[in-house]
């Protein structure tokens, strides 16, 4: 089985709770018991080994001489042979995993977002049917939304980030005049919340208190 960040967190939680039951056991021994109990592995070391494999599951190494790896899940670039880089990747990857589980949604990565924006823009401008054009515009906005959410996860303010529907109500002033008819429909269906996203920008940021 794959061992994810959530599995490791659960093992650590159980190991901590086992201190009351097994006060004489050291932390490592309690972690072994917890790993066996929760994951069915031989020990905690095996759990962390599988966890390290999971961390690298989406990492792709560049064919260039610099050998930089890029994770397609969290979009972090790092040198896999450097401990400090691997630890930095671990931190970002765990952050994305935690956010994705809590939101039941993972933002698309850069290449996917670019396709969404391109295809959405073409459909919004060229489709004959109004609903098809609106669908294209929402695909374009979804590409923006995913980029904004990705930045929020990196910046650790994703819990405050608006949902997609709320984001649509905020982003309308950034849309060009080419979408005037579609913007009118968006206002009816999603509402209109100006001033939450700077006109001309597509990223949402929490307001300074």
153 in helix, strand or coil?
helix
Residue entry with tokens 């590409």: 143
pLDDT band at 67 (very low <50, low <70, confident <90, very high): confident
Query: 166: Cβ–Cβ under 8 A, 6 or more apart, which residues?
Result: 193
Confidence of residue 201 (pLDDT cuts 50, 70, 90): very high
pTM: 0.85
> How far apart are the C-alpha atoms of 205 and 157, rounded to whole Å?
8
What would the pLDDT profile of 85-116 be if each residue is shown by its tens digit? 999 999 999 999 999 999 999 999 999 999 99
pLDDT digits 0-9 by tens, 3-25? 988 899 999 999 999 999 999 99
Instruction: Strands of 12-138 (E only): list them.
Output: 59-61, 69-71, 77-78
Q: Identify the residue whose tokens are 């904004």.
A: 148
- Is the predicted pLDDT of residue 66 greater than 90, yes or no? no
- CA dist., res. 105 & res. 54, Å (int): 19
* Per-residue pLDDT tens digits for 135-172: 999 999 999 999 999 999 999 999 999 999 999 999 99
- Could you give the CA distance from residue 197 to residue 167 in angstroms, rounded to a whole number? 9
């Amino acid at each position: 089985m794959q061992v994810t960040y959530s599995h490791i967190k659960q093992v650590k939680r159980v190991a901590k709770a086992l201190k009351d039951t097994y006060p004489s056991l050291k932390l490592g021994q309690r972690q072994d018991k917890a790993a066996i109990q929760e994951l069915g592995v031989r020990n905690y070391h095996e759990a962390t080994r599988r966890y390290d494999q999971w961390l690298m599951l989406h990492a792709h190494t560049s064919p260039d001489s610099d050998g930089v790896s890029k994770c397609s899940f969290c979009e972090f670039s790092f040198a896999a042979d450097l401990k400090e880089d691997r630890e930095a990747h671990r931190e970002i990857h765990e952050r994305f995993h935690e956010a994705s589980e809590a939101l039941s949604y993972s933002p698309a990565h850069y290449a996917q977002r670019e396709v969404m924006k391109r295809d959405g823009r073409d459909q919004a401008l060229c489709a004959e049917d109004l609903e098809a054009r609106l669908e294209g515009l929402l695909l374009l906005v979804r590409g923006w939304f995913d980029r904004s959410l990705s930045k929020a996860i990196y910046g650790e303010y994703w819990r405050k980030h608006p949902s997609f529907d709320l984001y649509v109500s905020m982003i309308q002033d950034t849309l060009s005049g080419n979408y005037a008819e579609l913007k009118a429909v968006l206002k009816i269906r999603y509402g209109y919340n100006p001033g939450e996203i700077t006109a001309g920008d597509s990223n949402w940021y929490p307001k300074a208190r």
